[in-house]
Amino acid sequence: MPASSRTRSASRAQGVAPHGVVRARGVAPHGVVRAPGVVRVRGVALAAAAVAALTVLPLLVVLADAISAGGAGAAEYLLRPRVAELLGHTGMLVAVTVPATVVVGTLAAWLVERTDLPWAGLWRALLLAPLAVPAFVSAYAWATVAPWLTGFAGAALVTTLAYYPFVFLPVAAMLRALDPADEEVARSLGLSPAAVVARTVLPRLRPALSGGALLVALHLLAEYGVLEMMRFQTFTTAIMQRYAVGFSDSSGSLLASVLLALCLLTLTLEVAAQGRRRVARVGSGAQHPAPQLPLGVWKAPAALVLTAVVGLSLVVPVATVTRWLVSAVADGEVGGDLLRVTSNTLVLALLGGVAAVVAALPGAWLLNRHRSALTLLLERATYLASALPGVVVGLALVTLAVNWARPVYQTVWLAVLAYAILFLPRAMVSLRAGLAAAPPELSEAARSLGLRGPATLARVVLPLMGPSVLTGFVLVALAISTELTATLLLAPTGTDTLALAFWRETGELDYAAAAPYAAAMIVLSVPLTMLLRRHLLEER
Amino acid sequence: MPLNRRPLLGALLALPLALTACAGGGDGEQPFEAEAGALQIYSSQHRNVTQAWAEEFTRSTGIETQIREGQDSSMGHMIVEEGESSPADVFLTENSPAMTVVERAGLLAPVAEETRGQLREGTAPSSGLWTAIAARSTVLVYNTDLISEEELPASLMDLADPEWAGRWGAAPGGADFQAIVAGMLADRGEAETRTWLEALAENAEVYQNNIATMKAVSAGEVPVGIMYHYYWYRDQAGEKESSASTALHYFGNQDPGAFVSLSAGGVLASSDMSDEAQQFLAYVTGPEGQKVLVDSGSMEYAVGAGVESDPALPPLDELEAPPVDPFTLNSDEVLTLMTDAGIL
């Protein structure tokens, strides 16, 4: 494998900034090196604040609507057994699925990256592939294959299988990037293998684990399609139901406000779980691949576990969609509008992906370089809207656009804004990981050598961040290509997308007619998923 | 590696543009722009029906149309949010409550007299602000392996009895079901409806929608379920994946379980093409439009006077629906009752 851009730039920079190596050994606190340009920081802070303000706008509409219920009415509505039941369901799902994705994702990443399991490359590709299968397509497949599998068990199973790549991806990338030298040092100092892992590897994995877990938790709070098909009611399905009732009372907003509170709780827990240790190091040193742990007799069971994960998360949906597709082709039901619908989906995904990455940049940069209570608050604010169902954000944006931004109403730009707001966390998580890999010392060194700000960005920071920018883009684009309810409300009249068409056909019980759209969503996502794999897991 | 990765990425990014170009050339549609001068139809009716209506209408009148799709609920809300400046000219729904939302916001224009004259009796509201465009009947779907016809309940109200505990399914969260409850409330009064809803919260298996209910009955999870008729006929006409071991039971006898719900059509008062909009509604409810509905395979009932529905369906007149005026249904109270019972 040829040297990647990361390794090359890093070693190039190492030559000019030897002092960086000293500080790089892991624990230097953030912000020790202050950037000289205060103005520049202000500019970025302003941009980050603007992004945060934009994402908070729909929340304000929701909260204002909830407040209109009045204190007594709100209390009476929220203090019902039904709300407690929904809270229990939502909490139960998060409490089971998040740990399950962490266990499955981490175990799979460890087996693939750190053991002598054969065909690691193939496993890596297969384990990431479920990212290409929309969660609700997977749920539909399960509803067909195992109709008895509903309620909590079905919901937990399908969400775990659909979301574990969110943990697998960052953990595997981190395991690859970690310098085993620390582990060797720890071992040479007499630590047991378990203690080595616990004291050198796990702390470094914390950001990847907590970031992945955060994405999973936020997705669970906002998940609708899977839970609807598995008939497991959570706050989000109840909110959708409330909107479906068709009356403009504030109870939908009241429920959405509870969801916001749950999201705040999740975000606070994640700050605690993330830890403050620095992960970046400067220079590749004498980096070499970590030794692969021989599995011995465990090889067969390990392969069996991964086979089960891949089989359940990938083979079941793909086989089911294929079955539908065959019957659709036999019936001549593959419609001529498939191409148009696919291109609509691609354009929206492309625009939304770029918008989300651009919007995430200032916040991610600030958080990495000038971490403070304020920047943390700005960042967390951008996560809030993503835990709301798309329909809530969508209706809030309709209200805002109709009243204050009429020209963008029913243009593609309002949909793009909604996507940026809803999927900002995906871009944020990736960009932060990327910035962590581009330590500030390198920029300092570049500046000390006479490069100006933009040139530093172009020649030092961006090459190091490239993969993570692309990762963020791909993750957002994948999410957009399967978004339902916000698209329905905000996309310009006459715009049809694959997700909408799939959902419509399954709603009409026409499995065969739905199949081409499901297949197109999967086919569309495959190259994006491959791109992710190449960028994150084959960089050495 | 970075070098040979670029062509792939480039190809990926170029793909949408290429596809858009092909698609744009194909049928001349502009996917991301509302067409100026086209009649804007906001619709939550079944897509194939709305499209067939719009195409036939354009063919016979030359008036261009553009359809904005949505779901009853969010679409009704959206029109209210848009208010006077709504681009919508016509609104078509699946269930009438979504239309009521718009009606209450004062956004509807009166429907032309001749249009209302084309409909069956009782399918245009006394307010004159909207009309029915299609109808669907409440039915009991039952698993023929689990229960015999003689064991079925005589009335929807019987499902509140303890003997039915855990043995029936329904989708009370949906607008469909709430229309049924509104019918029950109008027919049987508050006390009886409240008791029935409390029994539902206690005894019924709750499903997300009619299809899920039907699937569960077919899979034997519960012997019977409450739903609308057309899902069953469509599934039977297709692959029977969700209804293989089921049959339908019509309560008849003016029972609350024989309730017939209406899909609605209205013209927006803010429309800048109100003549064309009225023409469209007249077409949809007229003999030609109703025939399009019947031929679409949606299996909904036609509501035009003298128009026969699909021959597979029992005739609408023979369903013995309860004598409920669908326009006096108190949906707000239904919501309160359902919330009190802990269903919503």
pLDDT tens-digit series, residues A349-403: 999 999 999 999 888 888 877 778 888 888 888 888 888 888 889 888 988 998 8
SS3 A115: strand
Looking at residue B81, its pLDDT comes to 85
Chain A residues with CB under 8 Å of B238 CB are: 509-510, 512
Let me know: does A423 contact A479? Beta carbons within 8 Å.
yes
Domains along chain A with CATH numbers: 33-68+331-540 (1.10.3720.10), 70-315 (1.10.3720.10)
Per-residue model confidence as pLDDT tens digits over A203-254: 878 878 888 899 899 999 999 888 888 888 898 888 887 776 655 567 888 8
Per-residue model confidence as pLDDT tens digits over B97-145: 788 888 988 999 999 999 999 999 888 888 899 999 999 999 999 999 9
Looking at residue B11, its pLDDT comes to 52
Write the residue in A143, A489, A508 that is nearest to B74 by C-beta: A489
Looking at residue A37, its pLDDT comes to 58
Asked if B239 lies within 8 A of A327 by C-beta distance, the reply is yes
Range in A19-23, B185-189, B289-293, B295-299 the model is least confident about: A19-23
Q: Give the burial string for A392-402 (b: 16+ CB within 10 Å, else e).
A: bbbbbbbbbbb
- Burial of B166 per CB tally in 10 Å (0-12, 13-18, 19+): exposed
Cross-strand pairs, B301: B135
Looking at residue A503, its pLDDT comes to 85
CA distance A236 to B28: 39
The answer on pLDDT for B37 being more than 60 is yes
Asked if A247 lies within 8 A of B82 by C-beta distance, the reply is no
What number is the average pLDDT over the span B28-52? 80
Asked if A507 lies within 8 A of B70 by C-beta distance, the reply is no
The answer on pLDDT for B148 being more than 90 is yes
What number is the average pLDDT over the span A511-520? 87
CA distance A173 to A536: 6
- How distant, in Å, are the alpha carbons of A2, B47, B128, B234 from that of B26? 44, 21, 42, 31
Tell which of B20, B29, B74, B80 to mutate to test the A interface (max A CBs under 10 Å).
Answer: B74
Write the residue in A349, A395, A504 that is nearest to B77 by C-beta: A395
pTM recorded for the entire structure: 0.81
| Cβ contacts of B278 within 8 Å, gap of 6 or more | B111, B112, B115, B267
Chain B residues with CB under 8 Å of A509 CB are: 211, 231, 234-235, 238, 241-242
Per-residue model confidence as pLDDT tens digits over B158-185: 999 999 999 999 988 777 788 888 889 9
- Residue A24 tokens read as 């790089």
Residue boundaries of the structural domains of chain B = 31-135+262-314
The answer on pLDDT for A4 being more than 50 is no
Per-residue model confidence as pLDDT tens digits over A414-453: 999 999 999 998 888 788 777 776 777 777 788 788 777 7
Cross-strand pairs, A293: A115
Looking at residue A494, its pLDDT comes to 81
Looking at residue B5, its pLDDT comes to 46
Chain A residues with CB under 8 Å of B244 CB are: none
For β-strands B168-170 and B205-206, DSSP reports them as parallel
Closest-approach residue (CA) in chain A for B334: A245
Range in A27-31, A505-509, B299-303 the model is least confident about: A27-31
Asked if B34 lies within 8 A of A493 by C-beta distance, the reply is yes
Asked if A248 lies within 8 A of B77 by C-beta distance, the reply is yes
Q: What band does B30 get if pLDDT is binned at 50, 70 and 90?
A: low
Asked if B215 lies within 8 A of A143 by C-beta distance, the reply is yes
- Residue B96 tokens read as 């009438």
Chain B residues with CB under 8 Å of A410 CB are: 34, 87
CA distance A387 to A234: 13
Write the residue in B1, B174, B235 that is nearest to A4 by C-beta: B1
- Cβ neighbour number for residue A434 with a 10 Å cutoff: 23
Looking at residue B116, its pLDDT comes to 93
Asked if A246 lies within 8 A of B31 by C-beta distance, the reply is no
What number is the average pLDDT over the span A170-181? 80
Q: What band does B54 get if pLDDT is binned at 50, 70 and 90?
A: very high
The answer on pLDDT for A100 being more than 90 is yes
Asked if B16 lies within 8 A of A346 by C-beta distance, the reply is yes
Closest-approach residue (CA) in chain B for A463: B2
Write the residue in B1, B19, B101 that is nearest to A339 by C-beta: B19
Asked if B74 lies within 8 A of A406 by C-beta distance, the reply is no
CA distance A265 to A254: 17
First to last CA, chain A: 7
For β-strands B224-228 and B131-143, DSSP reports them as antiparallel
Angle at B221 between CA B217 and CA B222, to 5 degrees: 60
CA distance A90 to A259: 10
Looking at residue A7, its pLDDT comes to 40
Tell which of B208, B222, B330 to mutate to test the A interface (max A CBs under 10 Å).
Answer: B208
User: B191 — contact with chain A (CB < 8 Å)?
Assistant: no
Place of tokens 């927006």: B268
Known binding residues of B for Fe cation are 46, 94, 230-231
Looking at residue A1, its pLDDT comes to 38
Task: Give the architecture-level CATH label for domain B31-135+262-314.
Answer: 3-Layer(aba) Sandwich (3.40)
Q: Å from B23 to nearest chain A CA?
A: 5
- Residue A7 tokens read as 């390794």
Known binding residues of B are 46, 94, 230-231
Per-residue model confidence as pLDDT tens digits over B247-298: 999 999 999 999 998 999 999 999 999 999 999 999 999 999 999 999 998 9
- How distant, in Å, are the alpha carbons of A53, A373, B138, B255 from that of B258? 52, 62, 5, 5
Asked if A509 lies within 8 A of B29 by C-beta distance, the reply is no
The answer on pLDDT for A3 being more than 70 is no
Q: Å from A371 to nearest chain B CA?
A: 31
Chain B residues with CB under 8 Å of A492 CB are: 31-34
The answer on pLDDT for A272 being more than 60 is yes
Asked if B16 lies within 8 A of A509 by C-beta distance, the reply is no
User: B22 — contact with chain A (CB < 8 Å)?
Assistant: yes
Asked if B40 lies within 8 A of A402 by C-beta distance, the reply is no
What number is the average pLDDT over the span A475-490? 89
Asked if A398 lies within 8 A of B69 by C-beta distance, the reply is no
Let me know: does A306 contact A124? Beta carbons within 8 Å.
no
The residue among A158 and A21 whose pLDDT is bigger is A158
Q: What band does A508 get if pLDDT is binned at 50, 70 and 90?
A: low
Write the residue in B9, B40, B211 that is nearest to A531 by C-beta: B9
Report for A321-330, A500-509, B293-302: range of highest mean pLDDT: B293-302
Chain B residues with CB under 8 Å of A496 CB are: 31, 69
Q: Å from A198 to nearest chain B CA?
A: 34
